């Protein structure tokens, strides 16, 4: 950032967003994180154009959040926004405006998807707040979408320790990697050979007598279904992610080498079905 910003209070932008520190007392407030600026405009901001330009000088990105305005000065406010955009663009920074977006407490549901997307794209979403949302989306997608594909009633199980099941059974796993602006990681669905055989018999519509190549490949399709639907739902909510690799199938003898053993924040959950248990692991790398 330029020296013009040295008088700004050094507040972490993500913390400001999610701890409710933003107010409407001043005509405008500036929050900076790694040269990405969130500029909150309140009543009276039209009179502060030159001052605001100095505050955002040298930034890479300016996201403008209009929380308050004065109807009597609508023309002056529009002119100030136009002037600010022109001067920011002249400095090579991107400029995006979101009218009526009050900084959300946590990941508030009333924050528009476009606004959440803008913050996520430049890494300004608080990581600790985002992880539970990603976990919940993957969980719901496994129960609903995979359950429908397998013609099986899948339910979340809280009565067992999922790590104990993963540690004692021979399992087949399907894994994919994903990444987005504020979060990246790996998703994995694991099942025992017998559960996999039963589930694939339902999915194919023909009884499979043994765990053959067709059956083993099914666990890759399981995670492909879950991750694909989860990606669409997260995109809809304003947190776009992309799947960065094709599903990988890991057989029991190679479990120690799978990507889920990479250090990072983890969520491990167990799901029950009439045909046996399934396990889902999410590991977050950022």
Pairing of strands 241-243, 172-180: antiparallel
What does the alpha-carbon distance between residue 38 and residue 15 come to, in Å, rounded to a whole number? 12
Residue 261 confidence (pLDDT): 55
Which one of 65, 97, 121 terminates a domain?
Answer: 121
CB count in 10 Å sphere of residue 148:
12
Give the range of the structural domain holding residue 38, as residue numbers without chain letter.
3-121
Low-confidence ranges of the chain (pLDDT < 50): 1-24, 101-110, 257, 259
**Same structural domain for residues 230 and 136?**
yes
Looking up residue 229, the CATH number of its domain turns out to be 3.40.1550.10
**Same structural domain for residues 37 and 23?**
yes
Reading the block at residue 156, the tokens are 């979340």
Residue 148 confidence (pLDDT): 92
**Same structural domain for residues 97 and 193?**
no
Residue 100 confidence (pLDDT): 57
State how many domains the chain has. 2
Reading the block at residue 99, the tokens are 């009218």
**Same structural domain for residues 116 and 148?**
no
Residue 183 confidence (pLDDT): 74
**Same structural domain for residues 67 and 151?**
no
**Same structural domain for residues 109 and 165?**
no
**Same structural domain for residues 228 and 111?**
no
Residue 177 confidence (pLDDT): 93
The dihedral through the CA atoms of 247, 239, 114, 181 has a sign that is: negative
CB count in 10 Å sphere of residue 151:
10
The dihedral through the CA atoms of 228, 229, 231, 236 has a sign that is: positive
- pLDDT of 149-174, one tens digit each? 988 899 998 877 766 656 555 889 99
**Same structural domain for residues 86 and 156?**
no
Residue 5 confidence (pLDDT): 37
Looking up residue 37, the CATH number of its domain turns out to be 3.30.750
**Same structural domain for residues 98 and 63?**
yes
């Amino acid at each position: 950032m330029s020296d013009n910003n040295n008088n700004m209070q050094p507040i972490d932008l993500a913390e400001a967003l999610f701890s409710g520190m933003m107010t409407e007392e001043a005509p405008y407030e500036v929050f900076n994180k790694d040269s990405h600026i969130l500029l909150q405009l309140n009543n009276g901001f039209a009179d502060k154009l030159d001052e605001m330009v100095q505050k955002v000088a040298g930034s890479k990105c300016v996201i403008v959040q209009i929380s308050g305005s004065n109807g009597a000065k609508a023309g002056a406010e529009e002119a100030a926004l136009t002037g600010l955009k022109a001067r920011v663009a002249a400095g090579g920074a991107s400029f995006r405006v979101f009218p009526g977006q009050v900084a959300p407490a946590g990941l508030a549901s009333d924050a528009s998807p476009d606004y959440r997307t803008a913050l996520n794209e430049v890494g300004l979403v608080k990581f600790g707040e985002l992880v539970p949302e990603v976990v919940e989306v993957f969980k719901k997608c496994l129960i609903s979408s995979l359950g429908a594909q397998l013609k099986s009633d899948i339910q979340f199980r809280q009565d067992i320790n999922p790590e104990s099941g993963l540690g004692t059974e021979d399992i087949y796993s399907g894994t994919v990697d994903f990444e987005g602006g504020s979060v990246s990681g790996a998703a994995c669905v694991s099942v025992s050979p017998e559960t996999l055989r039963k589930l694939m018999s339902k999915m194919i519509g023909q009884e499979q007598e043994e765990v053959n190549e067709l059956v083993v490949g099914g666990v890759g399709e399981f995670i492909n279904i879950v991750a694909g639907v989860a990606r669409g739902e997260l995109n809809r909510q304003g947190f776009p992610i992309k799947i960065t690799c094709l599903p990988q199938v890991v057989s029991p003898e190679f479990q120690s080498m799978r990507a889920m053993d990479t250090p990072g924040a983890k969520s491990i959950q167990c799901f029950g079905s009439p045909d046996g248990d399934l396990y889902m692991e999410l590991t977050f790398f950022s």
